[in-house]
Amino acid sequence: MLLADLPEGPFARLAALLNGTEPGKPPITLAVGDPSGVVPDFVKEALAREAASFGNYPMISGTREWREAAAAWVAARFDLPSERIDPEKHVLPLNGTRDGLFSVLFPIVPRSKQGARPIVAMPNPFYQVYAAAALASGAEPLYVPALAANGFLPDYAGLPPEILARVAAVYVCSPSNPEGAVADRAYWDGLFELADRHDFIVLADECYADIWFDAPPACALTARLAQSGGFSRLLSFHSLSKRSGLPGLRSGMVAGCADLIARFRAFRNVAGPQVPTPILAASAACWRDEAHVEAGRLAYQEKMAAAQAILGNRMKRPGGGFFLWLDVGNGADFALRAWREQGVRLLPGAYMGRESLPGKTQSNPGFSYVRVALVSDLSTIMTALERLKEILG
């Protein structure tokens, strides 16, 4: 079975961990990264305006309005010449970023590379859909540790040459989930040099790119264009779930290499879901508007500042995203204690990772951590963090 090695879902594992344990105080969950944003009026208006088009099949490549809005956002957000982002060649709508991150491997991963099973490399800990995609496409998933020592970003250049020869694609999440690490320009440049040398594709999961605290994160598209004059070997994924706080819209996009976009579009035309036209209309409105994004970012900055005021040196502020990655010694034990004593639901970091050494639980890069999602309202987050402060060492 292709999916026999699929990691068990982290939230199923969390439910099993807490099963039978009553919360010590009124429960608060900081385990799930559900932004739960306010739906802007312009989104409701776009949905209502185009509601009649639910009666028609949408185009796999989206409407012209969507393509132009998406392309304009990519160019403006990542400081690219507008003529370098062609709405007809460089962008494609997705039913949420997860849809694209999963299905993208099917049209791009070869049956073999260097006469062996191809490898798809990913950070460890990781967003579980990366592993599901690798296994479903017939590739071998390779879990590359993202540790404090390497800035919580996978060191793909450190892989042995015989492994790199088999790599068909790599996932990079920046700002990363769960650690909030941000890849700088040097990291992207080094990764693309490696991709050119070993002939693999870079899948840049940048869905948190609009949630940052000091400065906008460096972007893969910007780095690749400056380095090579184009977007070869690169697909960059973006999400309105995070940017706009609208996870229920199930809307995202992929941008990048025209040849890869064409292959992905052809695959989706026969095997992938279309994005409904009313959703495309609402999405286009979101890509065109920055005011709601700035408001959301300010709210996350306020939540992060509150976390720093409460937790102090017990936390390290991430470069972006809306998670805290707290080192607590043993993440599963701490999550159970936080629930039993304080009623706070957290996700053990190990549940997002894999053991580097079979049977050695502490070889899981997430073993000593818990992930804390700062997506609730400020008052709820402050209450939960004050409770956690009581049991943090």
In tens, the pLDDT along 207-248 reads 999 999 989 999 999 999 999 999 999 999 999 999 999 999
Residue 28: its H or E element: strand 28-29
Burial class from Cβ neighbours inside 10 Å (0-12, 13-18, 19+) for residue 170 reads: buried
Question: What is the DSSP track for 291-307?
Answer: HHHHHHHHHHHHHHHHH
Q: Is the pLDDT of residue 293 over 70?
A: yes
Average pLDDT over residues 257-269: 97
Mean model confidence pLDDT for the chain: 95
Q: Which amino acid is at 277?
A: T
Please tell me the predicted confidence (pLDDT) of residue 2. 67
CATH architecture for segment(s) 43-289: 3-Layer(aba) Sandwich (3.40)
Q: Which amino acid is at 298?
A: L
Q: Is the pLDDT of residue 125 over 90?
A: yes
- Residue owning tokens 């609402």: 282
Within 95-159, strands assigned E span: 119-124, 140-145
CA–CA gap between residue 195 and residue 189 (Å, rounded):
10
What would the CATH number be for the domain defined by 10-33+292-391? 3.90.1150.10
Q: What pLDDT digit, counting tens, does each position of 45-66 carry?
A: 999 999 999 999 999 999 999 9
CA–CA gap between residue 18 and residue 308 (Å, rounded):
28
Question: Are 229 and 251 a contacting pair, CB within 8 Å?
Answer: no
Q: Which residues contact 133 (CB under 8 A, 6 or more apart)?
A: 101, 102, 103, 104, 105, 120
Q: Is the pLDDT of residue 369 over 80?
A: yes
Q: What pLDDT digit, counting tens, does each position of 306-348 carry?
A: 999 999 999 999 999 999 999 999 999 999 999 999 999 999 9
Q: Is the pLDDT of residue 6 over 80?
A: no
Instruction: Answer yes or no: pTM beyond 0.85.
Output: yes
Do 10-33+292-391 and 43-289 fold alike per CATH? no
List the chain domain ranges.
10-33+292-391, 43-289
CA–CA gap between residue 243 and residue 245 (Å, rounded):
6
